[in-house]
Amino acid sequence: MRSGNAVNKANKATATQLEACISTSIELNGVRLHLAVKASSELSDVERERIWNIFESNMRLLYAASSFGWDPHSKKEEMFHPHARLVLCERCDDTTSGSEPFPSESRIVAYGILRFEREAKQDVVYCYELQVAEESRRLGVGKLLTSALLDIGSQWGMKKVMLTVFKANNAALAFYKFLGFDLDPSSPGLAEDDGWQDEDELDYDYVILSKSIL
Ligand SMILES: CC(C)(COP(=O)(O)OP(=O)(O)OC[C@H]1O[C@@H](n2cnc3c(N)ncnc32)[C@H](O)[C@@H]1OP(=O)(O)O)[C@@H](O)C(=O)NCCC(=O)NCCS
């Protein structure tokens, strides 16, 4: 496939086509989860609010202390951009009646937000957000969502998954390192020795990480 064509094609894929690339029903440590893919235009108001609330409670302090600043308006534009595709993770473990096939919208506990983009002449999945609500962390949900992004990217001809992380976000840095992400060549903090955090690059409070899609 010619360069860039994969991105154009993937951007035209429906959420249903993207969802077909991933397992949607998963059990992790006894917790039943459901994954769904939606375009930002397909989100209900309740879903948007829940997505924003998780983001705000996870990230507000980090953004406020960063060079990016806390700017809800531009952040919402980015998160709900027309090209944004969201992988939503809902918990089903406390569904008692058994009559509901899927949990209600308020049960979103985590999500990944991706866009297909061309970066440095490569077709990539750019992960704009990966957010897990505090009470659902360390269950493997972040790993599951990252695998979903890699699977979607693989099936739509992307070469790698990329993302931006604040250097102050130690939990996320440890998480991505555990998953095999490395500093991307485009990262401003890339050190000669491939170190993760270059003390000489104090102007930058973030790094760009990536993982190749095989
Ligand atoms: C970073 C984040 C997405 C990880 O999600 P998670 O579902 O808790 O991660 P997982 O359970 O899949 O963790 C997989 C492995 O990553 C590593 N890891 C995850 N969180 C970690 C932490 N806080 N400290 C150190 N290592 C961590 C561990 O090795 C973990 O395996 P283990 O639990 O068996 O030890 C989650 O903490 C989060 O949403 N944080 C706030 C939002 C954020 O910072 N997002 C990233 C923005 S770039």
Q: What is the pLDDT along the chain (214 residues), one digit of tens a residue?
A: 555 689 999 999 999 999 999 999 999 989 999 999 999 999 999 999 999 999 999 999 999 999 999 999 999 999 999 999 999 999 987 544 444 544 455 699 999 999 999 999 999 999 999 999 999 999 999 999 999 999 999 999 999 999 999 999 999 999 999 999 999 999 987 555 545 555 556 689 999 999 999 8
Question: What atom in ligand 1 is closest to the CA of residue 59?
Answer: 42
Query: Does the beta carbon of 178 sit less than 6 angstroms from any atom of ligand 1?
Result: yes
List 116's β-bridge partners, or say none: 125
Which pLDDT value is given to residue 189? 72
Which pLDDT value is given to residue 102? 45
Which pLDDT value is given to residue 103? 47
Query: Does the beta carbon of 139 sit less than 6 angstroms from any atom of ligand 1?
Result: yes
Question: What atom in ligand 1 is closest to the CA of residue 172?
Answer: 1
**23: containing domain:** 5-212
* Contact yes or no for 66/166 (Cβ under 8 A): yes
Query: Does the beta carbon of 131 sit less than 6 angstroms from any atom of ligand 1?
Result: yes
Which pLDDT value is given to residue 97? 46
Which CATH number characterizes residue 10's domain? 3.40.630.30
Q: How far apart are CA 112 and CA 92, in angstroms?
A: 18
Residues ≥6 apart with Cβ < 8 Å to 40: 79, 80, 81, 82, 84, 85, 86
Which pLDDT value is given to residue 188? 87
Q: How far apart are CA 173 and CA 190, in angstroms?
A: 14
Handedness of CA 61, 63, 69, 74 (dihedral sign): negative
Query: Does the beta carbon of 146 sit less than 6 angstroms from any atom of ligand 1?
Result: no
Query: Does the beta carbon of 112 sit less than 6 angstroms from any atom of ligand 1?
Result: no
Question: What atom in ligand 1 is closest to the CA of residue 127?
Answer: 48
Q: How far apart are the first and last CA of the chain?
A: 16
Which pLDDT value is given to residue 214? 80
Ligand 1 geometric centre to CA of 170 (Å): 10
Query: Does the beta carbon of 141 sit less than 6 angstroms from any atom of ligand 1?
Result: yes
Domain count, the chain: 1
